[in-house]
Chain A
Amino acid sequence: MEKHLLQELAAIVAPMPVLSAPEEMLVYECDGHTLDKAPPSAVVFPSTTEQVVAIVKLANKYNLPFVARGAGTGLSGGALALDGGIVIEMCRMNKILEIDYANQRAVVQPGLVNLHLSLAVADAGYYYAPDPSSQGSCTIGGNVAENSGGPHTLKYGVTTNHVLGLEVVLPDGAVVHFGGPTLDTPGYDLTGLFVGSEGTFGIVTKVTVRLLRKPQAWKTVLAFFPSVEAASSAVSGIIGAGIIPGALEMMDNLAIQAVEGAIQAGLPLDAGALVLIELDGIADGMEEDAARITAICQQHGCQGVRVAQDEAERALLWKGRKEAFGAVGRLSPNYYTHDGVIPRTRLPEALHRLQQISATYGLRIANVFHAGDGNLHPLVLYDERDTEEVKRVLQAGEAILRTCVDLGGVLSGEHGIGLEKKNCMPWLFTDDDLEIMYRLRQLFNPQQLCNPGKIIPLRGRCRCGAVTAEDTVTPAVQAAVAAALEGAHVHT
């Protein structure tokens, strides 16, 4: 990056430094999706909304792409700065601005670590419900960008169900407010549209979230099954019986081996699958529900059940689940995490087809996933030094996603599309569907400087069929949008 530009950036964020030496920026070449890498031209650490505005305006002035980044735990390449852009690292903006227990909400800065919010309100009996497995490091701002989920979303919903309002710096530097502290704000639900826009609609600088009362009681049950098929039918049986547990997670044998090797939780190494079921809510009636769940598991060939006897055992069982991805890392040098979703009732078929894919491509696949939601996380094991194997990993990944789409599902349940899966979008969406998405991005982000090259495949970059979104925005639409935007952002 040119020296005068660096100086201007440094002046904005002083006394915080601006990183620009390649060796300082290695960690910013990719996020949790490590197959694609792109070096940024600079990394800058704003501390206030005003600084974010100044950085964005500077980027506009010099026509530089930019991308906001939280903890870099994203799994679809959403935080990569393509075309030598600036990384705007939000971790300095990590304060809790307001906690309002009477109204069950908090206002936080985007760099706040997800878990830190729950910890801050725990003593008062509250928590923040969305709990991605990376919640110890991922940020609320990143969660907003990706509409992150987690194990407990089966009952409580994902990020979008818990965000009430946003302060956003638009890609031209204007500051706007979506939603608010109160519900049902009149007009289009721009909060809902913004959440999950993967950093392509602007940079969030303030988030109003809902806090929930901690459940009065939990009951955590592990059930072991001879096969993933048996476990899957038990999952369908539980939901079919009208019980919605707080979480309903599954691991296959390979994942069990990895987890047991890592944390010695006493899991049976010969089980074909285990299902982690957590009931939460009021204590009344919980024993009855737990008994019904146990009976359903037994009807589906369950080999054994383990009920957490105390908080320590519950924590241990969850540790196995939350750290399962890391544990799988013990089995091979690298693994590729997928995130397809299928209708819950298609689980047995999906898992069977995953086994076939594993055999076809000669790759081991471990499964650790949100069974209750039908949200699969096949972890494909490989060694990145073996370039031939990397090719097969990508082919297997494509086959996995094709399977999800074939079974009536979608490409991503919680990790996002980002760079990783944008070329698969035409499998699910028509040109017309994508054109509307493109049009919306164009309207928020007309210069395409804010996190370019993500989500929607464009002509020339597309591997899986040509979408010509640029051409389908008619002059009439462009003119109407320009007229509507004229005089906009008067509130900056």
Chain B
Amino acid sequence: MSTLEGLATALEGVVGSAHLLTNAAVAEYAIDGVLPTMVVLPTDEGQITEVLRLASEHQATVFPRGGGSHTFMGQTPSRVDLVLSVQGLQRQLAYEPADLTMTVQAGMRFVGLQRTLRDSGQFLALDPAVTAMTTVGGVVATNVSGPRRLLYGTARDVLLGVTVMTIDGRRTKAGGRVVKNVTGYDLNKLYIGSLGTLAIIVELTCKLHPLPPGELTLAISCAGQADLAPMLQTILQLPLRLNSLELLNVTACEMLAMHADLSPAKIGYMLIARVEGTPAVTQRQSQRLTEALRHLPLTRAASVHVCSAVEQERLWSALGDLIRGASGPATAPDGMVVKVSLLMSALPAFCQDVQETATHFDTAWSIVAHAGSGIAYVCIPVSNPEASDVERLLAYLQALEGCVARCQGRRVVARAPVAVKQQCQVWGPPGDDFALMRAIKASFDPQHRLNPGRFLGGL
């Protein structure tokens, strides 16, 4: 790229040689195997402004990056000029526990933030499957979520304010530092989940929650599809402080059993429910739930296993890994993960349909669903990611899309080998609001240089 000539030298002048990678070290920052020409690691907002200005002068494409734990999301880029990492922006800018709000720089590590908050008896109520590298900015930009969304929602329910750098290097903010705010358009929503295609998030203010006094996890067996709907509906209608309700099919149970000491359901499904409260309160909720299930006319009585504290911790961590498809390194995922959005009531039929489809291919796919939210993760194992396997995976995907369509859902390929991603629409087909999305992208990034081509419909 002749236009990139001189960019490295100029960038070095801004961030110093220690914060600019141009040699073999860029390999670590590859996106779906595509090596960036250079990687810049600014340490403050002023540097980001300068970097963006220089990138603009040289017409370079810019790929914002947090900790790099979720770069597998999205369509494979055709060319990566400059990876701009915000992991050097790690400061906590404000934390007032009595206000239940916190302002941090985008590069702050998610795990570290939660540790700080825990000391004050609080937490940021997002629980996506993360790694030690995952940043708060990354969690918001990718809008990843976890089981607790049932009670606490997703990033759109906790993000109060955001400061971004637009592609022309301007610093702009939206929202505020208070928990209730309708002052101006709600741009927070626009930046959440926009995958760095509109602007680079540099600062975030989030609403916090008090840590619950305790939690209790129940593993509930379910004999078959016919029992799923009544069991799910019953659990969701009981007066419980239920923060998670996960649904696992047999295959998922088996995979989970490899990581957590749980006797897997041999047939049917498993539901994993987690309730909050003081020990006395969670005990009573557990009894109430068990009692209610006992009175349901089921094809086979449900067994309820109350997890110990150790079991509970292992189980939720193993579940997270399963959803991420993260038993392998991020650069060579050993599974294809498809995230499916459904109406909650369609889940039992969907599970059955997927099971039959997988059996038809003489394989087994695991399903882990946030049952109360209608979000299902279908994980398809990949034995060896070679060309022949790619053909097979594409056939699987097509069959799975049939299941999704029959249940009137939508699907996103959350994770897949690059060769598969190159031959499918990762985010699925856009809707009738896509012209507006394109116009929004064009107004933020007229030259299409910010994480180009990676989001829905090439946004």
Which residues on A are within 8 Å of B, measured CB to CB? 100, 102-104, 125, 146-147, 149, 153-154, 157-158, 160-161, 170, 175-178, 180-193, 195-197, 213, 215-217, 236, 239-240, 242-244, 281-285, 288, 341-345, 370, 373-375, 408-417, 421, 425, 428-430, 432-437, 439-441, 443-444, 455-456, 476-477, 479-481, 483-485, 487-491
Contacts and interface: CB of A to CB of B under 8 A. Distances in A.
Contacts of A100: 343, 345
A184 B377 CA distance: 13
B442 A481 contact: yes
Contacts of B237: 125, 213
B349 interface: no
Contact of A341 (B180, B187, B457): B180
B375 A412 contact: no
A244 B101 CA distance: 14
A436 B176 contact: no
Among B122, B281, B435, chain A packs the most CB atoms within 10 A around the CB of B435
B156 A183 contact: no
A239 B98 contact: yes
Interface string B155-198: 01100000000100011111011111111111111101110001
Contact of B184 (A158, A239, A344, A417): A417
Nearest to B278: A285
Given A282-B285, A284-B281, A480-B446, A187 B178 contact: no
Interface stretch (B34-42, B59-67, B425-433): B425-433
Contacts of A413: 178, 180-182
Contacts of B98: 236, 239-240, 344-345
B284 interface: yes
A102 B229 CA distance: 10
B367 to A, nearest CB: 16
A432 B122 CA distance: 34
Contacts of A425: 183-184
A149 B183 CA distance: 13
B292 to A, nearest CB: 13
Given A439-B443, A484-B441, A193 B434 contact: no
B82 to A, nearest CB: 20
A102 B233 contact: yes
B410 interface: yes
A489 B435 contact: yes
Nearest to B100: A239
B331 interface: no
Interface string B69-104: 000000000000000000000000000111111000
A160 B90 CA distance: 30
B412 interface: yes
B354 interface: no
A149 B172 contact: no
A343 B410 contact: no
B181 A455 contact: no
27 contacts: A102-B233, A102-B345, A125-B237, A157-B153, A161-B156, A176-B436, A180-B431, A181-B343, A185-B410, A186-B456, A188-B459, A196-B182, A196-B185, A197-B185, A242-B121, A242-B213, A341-B179, A343-B101, A374-B99, A374-B178, A413-B182, A432-B170, A433-B174, A443-B439, A480-B447, A485-B439, A490-B435
Given A239-B98, A477-B443, A410 B240 contact: no
Contacts of A190: 433, 436-437
B189 A184 contact: no
Contacts of B46: none
B342 interface: yes
Contacts of A490: 432, 435
A439 B170 CA distance: 15
B330 interface: no
Task: Please list the 10 inter-chain residue pairs (A to B) with the smallest Cβ-Cβ separation, ordered nearest first.
Answer: A192-B189, A488-B435, A242-B210, A216-B239, A480-B446, A491-B432, A182-B341, A480-B442, A484-B442, A484-B438
Contacts of A242: 121-122, 210-211, 213
Looking at B97, B178, B189, which has the most chain A CB atoms within 10 Å of its CB?
B178
A324 to B, nearest CB: 18
A103 to B, nearest CB: 5
Contact of B180 (A153, A215, A283, A436): A153
A120 B173 CA distance: 40
Given A181-B343, A481-B442, A195 B427 contact: no
A191 B156 CA distance: 11
A484 B435 contact: yes
Contact of A488 (B439, B441, B444): B439
A67 B293 CA distance: 52
Contacts of B344: 102-104
Interface in B96-139: 96-101, 121-122
A449 B39 CA distance: 46
Contacts of B194: 188
B180 A370 contact: yes
Contact of A182 (B99, B209, B277, B409): B409
A344 B198 CA distance: 32
Contacts of A192: 156, 186, 188-190, 192
A285 B439 contact: no
Nearest to B193: A189
